[in-house]
Amino acid sequence: MTKKATSALISVFHKDGLEPIVRKFKELGITIYSTGGTEKFIKDLGIDVIAVEDVTSYPSILGGRVKTLHPKVFGGILNRQDNESDIAQLEEFEIPQLDIVIVDLYPFKKTVTSSASEQDIIEKIDIGGISLIRAAAKNFKDVLCVSSMNDYAEVLELISKGNGNTTLEDRRRFAAKSFNVSSHYDTAIFNYFNKNHEEAVLKISETNGKVLRYGENPHQKGFFFGDFDTMFTKLHGKELSYNNLLDVDAAVNLMNEFKNDPPTFAILKHNNACGLSTRDTLHQAYVDALAGDPVSAFGGVLISNKEIDKATAEEIHKLFCEVVIAPSYANDALEALKGKKNRIILTLNEVELPETTVRSCLNGVLVQDRDLKTDTLSDLTYVTNKKPSDEELDDLIFASKLCKHTKSNTIVLAKNKQLCASGTGQTSRVDALNQAIHKAKSFNFDLNGAVMASDAFFPFPDCVEISHKNGISSVIQPGGSIKDQLGIDYCNENEVSMVMTGIRHFKH
């Protein structure tokens, strides 16, 4: 059903892009109603506008908190044009019909993230705007509701092509957009008031969505919801896949542990690090990270905590890799990396990651605090007669950081701030250790003097014994087993040092 607009209510916070619409309304003879700052904006353009206060015979009150909340406004929006009783009441109470409503909302989320005072935040909870949007969207049969400045260009084209006419399909589509805006806004307000989770309620609203080529496998559909472009600047390469995004997430979380460390490079595959090294130069850090597992590195995701220089880029270019991530790139380094047309090159921007993680489970979801605990020297309890050397302590903390970001059950073996090998995602901690030892030796690592990290306690002393017999000299683990003392006794009898953190780092 096509409907010609003869009137419009405009009340917006953001004026950018509004002028062409207002001028088009004037050209088409559409009567404009407005209030406050928007009314002044339209008047300053030299365009006639009727103040809402002149319609309601009521001024804006309570410091602007109440402006449009009046039957003469909402009656003009909610009346049903095919209902004789509604039309009669419009005439009886001198209520103007409103065919178009253009409203946006106070920037609540932006105010929250700006660290404003609570009073400023509360004042940015929109009342009149959200009510106008809901009313106009509800009555889409007769009213076109425009609820975002992002839609101004589309609305201008729509009105221009139709000479003020819109179809029912158009109005219904804009109603859906409007309810998306209103629900997203309400979710942000609720989450602000429930930031300490006093209410065991989960509300998630992401308005930035992207359709992926497919999910984990080609027969699965895949989507990403989030503001990827705020977190990354994509400099080159193909579109990221579902699996790329999972690896990128794992890479960023891991490298956050080494953000302020000397040059560090990591290589990940299937969400686990297969190479990690900290060195005096980034080039050497990459070379030694690759040495950790040059086989698994093929097709992996690479990440650095420092700007990538030309020498490092040329070394990376020899490897087929899906994604490279760094805080920045030297110009000549970027040119070298662009040598592979599909290689995805990302600059990581400074963003604040969510403090909670969410995943589907059964017929619902699981939510938990993100594991933000990083083991430090001050967390360590020295439980054996022999104490780790300074070099071993550095390696123990290095291994513990990596262990936290590796799938459980896991064992990490490290030496001289280099990953020798890890056992990942095993059902037995002994299996994880044996996997790590086998892998390290297959790439010719000398484990004498290496350290071992475990994401959880050792229920028996078997892992300590196996690791010692393969050259491991120091161990870091959470502790907490009723048989901790058996492992400690073995270490004391065999001159192995062990420290406990008291913190478990399961990752599933």
Active site residues: 138, 270
Distance separating alpha carbons of residues 84 and 107, to the nearest angstrom: 39
> Can you say whether the dihedral through the CA atoms of 34, 37, 40, 42 is positive or negative?
negative
- Alpha helices, DSSP H, located in 256-306: 282-291
The type of residue at 347 is: T
C-alpha 148: how far from chain center: 22
β-sheet bridge partners, residue 325: 303, 346
Residue 184 and residue 207 in contact, taking contact as beta carbons nearer than 8 Å: yes
Rounded to an integer, what distance in angstroms lies between the CA atom of residue 322 and that of residue 325?
Answer: 10
Report which DSSP code applies to 210. E
Q: Are 386 and 496 in contact (CB under 8 A)?
A: yes
Q: Give Cβ neighbours of residue 442 (< 8 Å, ≥ 6 apart).
A: none
| DSSP annotation of 150 | G
Pairing outcome for strands 381-382 and 497-500? antiparallel
Q: Please spell the DSSP secondary structure of 299-357, one letter per residue.
A: TEEEEESS-B-HHHHHHHTTS-EEEEEES-B-HHHHHHHTTSTT-EEEEEP--PPPSEE
Token representation of residue 115: 């660290």
Cβ contacts of residue 229 below 8 Å, gap of 6+? none
Long-range contacts of 164-170 (CB under 8 A, 24+ apart): 164/4, 164/5, 164/6, 164/28, 164/30, 165/2, 165/3, 165/4, 165/5, 166/2, 166/3, 166/5, 167/1, 167/2, 167/3, 168/1, 168/2, 168/3, 168/140, 168/141, 170/144
Q: Distance between CA 213 and CA 227 in Å, rounded? A: 18
Report the alpha-carbon distance of residue 486 to residue 151 in Å, rounded. 68
Give the C-alpha distances (Å, rounded to integers) separating 461 from 411, 465, 476, 483, 498: 14, 6, 13, 8, 12
Residue whose C-alpha is closest to residue 416's, from 389, 402, 395: 395
What is d(CA 145, CA 166) in angstroms, rounded to the nearest whole number?
A: 11
